[in-house]
Every structure is written in C-alpha cells, then in structure tokens.
Amino acid sequence: MAEKERTYSDEEVQAKLKEHGLEAWYLEDGWIRRKYNTDGWPTTLMLTNAIGFLCEAAYHHADLAITWGKIWVKLKTHLAGGITDKDFALAKQIEAVALWRPEPGSPLPGNPKKFVVGK
C-alpha cells in the first residue's frame, strides 16, 4: 500500500504560499485558490485551456470556475485529504504560464491589451 502524502496545516500552507512566491493565492475551505481576470471571453477560454493542459500534463487536476472575464482556480489533493506539495508545484506552474509576458527587449512584442491580469 502506498504511503499517504503529507498534508499541510493552515499555517504551513500560508508559509508555503509565500515560500513559493504565490502571494496572490490564498487558502479557503481547504483549497488553495486564485482568481485571474482577463480582457474577455476568448482570453478566458485560452487561459482555461492552458491550465487544463498543465493539469493533465501533471496528472493533478484543478477545479475551475469560469465566466466572461474571470477564471477561479482551486487546488487540493483529494486522495491525501488536503494540501500537498503537488498543489504548490502546480499552482506555481499555472502562475508562471498565466502571467508570462515577453521580457523587455524581446523580439516578441507582447499583447497590447490587458490580456490576463493577476490582480
């Protein structure tokens, strides 16, 4: 029988979010959560698909709620009964992809619209 994954207390989750640079994520009702605002439905759908791809590639799946210009992401490890290292690792990858923009001086111009907003 496989050993159960370590879960973290609420206090440990708060510290881990900071440790991983996930200050915009928060703990609520046993999930780590994040809301992203977008510039509209097409961008919301693109971000939803990008998150879905990351979850499937990681084989660790988020709960998502989407509407016209917003997407809410919730993570926890169901089999472990709480927040594990898997959740922090996937949240960090989602954050990196969702908020990625070309570096200044890059040959890539970047989207001129507000696109995905992390606040």
Amino acid at 21: G
At residue 94, what are phi and psi to the nearest 5 degrees? Answer: -60, -45
Is 90 exceeded by the pLDDT of residue 23? yes
Q: Is 17 within the bounds of a domain?
A: no
Confidence of residue 1 (pLDDT cuts 50, 70, 90): low
Rounded to whole angstroms, how far apart are CA atoms 51 and 45?
10
Q: What local confidence, expressed as pLDDT, does residue 111 receive? A: 87
Q: What share of the chain in percent tops pLDDT 70?
A: 97
In a domain, 14, yes or no: no
pTM to 2 decimal places:
0.93
> For the segment 26-60, what is each residue's pLDDT rounded down to a tens digit?
999 999 999 999 999 999 999 999 999 999 999 99
To the nearest 10 degrees (0 to 180), the angle between helices 41-58 and 85-98 is 140
CATH number at residue 53: 3.30.1360.20
Residue 110 maps to a domain: no
Domain that holds residue 49: 28-102
| 57 inside domain | yes
Residue 59 lies in a domain: yes
- CB–CB of 87/75 below 8 Å? yes
What's the angle, vertex CA 11, arms to CA 8 and CA 15, rounded to 5? 90
What is the count of structural domains for the chain? 1
